[in-house]
Amino acid sequence: MSLAIFDLDNTLLAGDSDYLWGRFLVEQNLVDGEFYARENLRFLHEYEAGTLDIHEFLTFSLEPLAKIAPERLAGLHEQFMAEKIQPIILPRALALLDKHREAGDTLLIITATNSFVTRPIANDLGIEHLVATEPERIDGRYTGRVAGTPSFREGKVTRLTEWLQKQGENLAGSGFYSDSHNDLPLLEMVQHPVAVDPDNTLRDHAEARGWPIISLRNNAS
């Protein structure tokens, strides 16, 4: 049994759940629409360019969780799943997950997106194990702060190492599927890195290293 690790946004999903959650908040009039939409797009572009300040972004993205009652957040996320996430779950991604299940692999999603957004998505995909950025909670409410290390870039390596120790797992025979050059630290760590619909920087790196490059998009050849 090996560990099959998956990035979430733009890998198993045909979109970015963190960005879409921000758009959803704007559509629901729960944030300052013009400001939030502008900043949300700026952070997305910085992520794609590899210049994102993860702590600045998390201060921005976690603030609404602290301002909305937990019981309302749960209902909002159900609506978010139906409207924004279900339509972008890739059938080829589901087939890939099933292939690894049939092989007896342990499936793990690792994502920089916070666990409030991503835990229900992982559950919907039938994946028990999730390593995500953890929003701090006190007395059942989100504080707007981060608990522990954000699972972003080198932080994914840190968080995965902690998870392996806790689970008694190792990286023998492990694979990691990702679309983003931000995940190069972890891609370099596993035995079987796979670039999935990669950005240009990751594509160039994968070609230079001889890594497999695959597509999970419906219109892929």
- Closest alpha carbon to 77 in 66, 89, 65, 63: 65
Q: Which residue has the tokens 């909002």?
A: 76
From the candidates 7, 16, 18, 183, which is the catalytic residue? 7
Query: Is position 7 annotated as part of the catalytic site?
Result: yes
- Identify whether the C-beta of residue 52 lies closer than 8 Å to the C-beta of residue 43: yes
Q: At what angle do helices 115-124 and 70-80 cross, to 10 degrees?
A: 50
From the candidates 9, 16, 18, 183, which is the catalytic residue? 9
Q: Which residue has the tokens 């409207």?
A: 83
Query: Is position 9 annotated as part of the catalytic site?
Result: yes
How far is residue 146's CA from residue 136's CA, in Å, rounded to a whole number? 5
How far is residue 124's CA from residue 127's CA, in Å, rounded to a whole number? 8
Token pair for residue 64? 């609404």
Pairing of the two strands 141-147 and 175-178? unpaired
123 CB neighbour count, 10 Å cutoff? 12
How far is residue 1's CA from residue 21's CA, in Å, rounded to a whole number? 35
93 CB neighbour count, 10 Å cutoff? 21
How far is residue 109's CA from residue 122's CA, in Å, rounded to a whole number? 7
Catalytic residue positions?
Answer: 7, 9
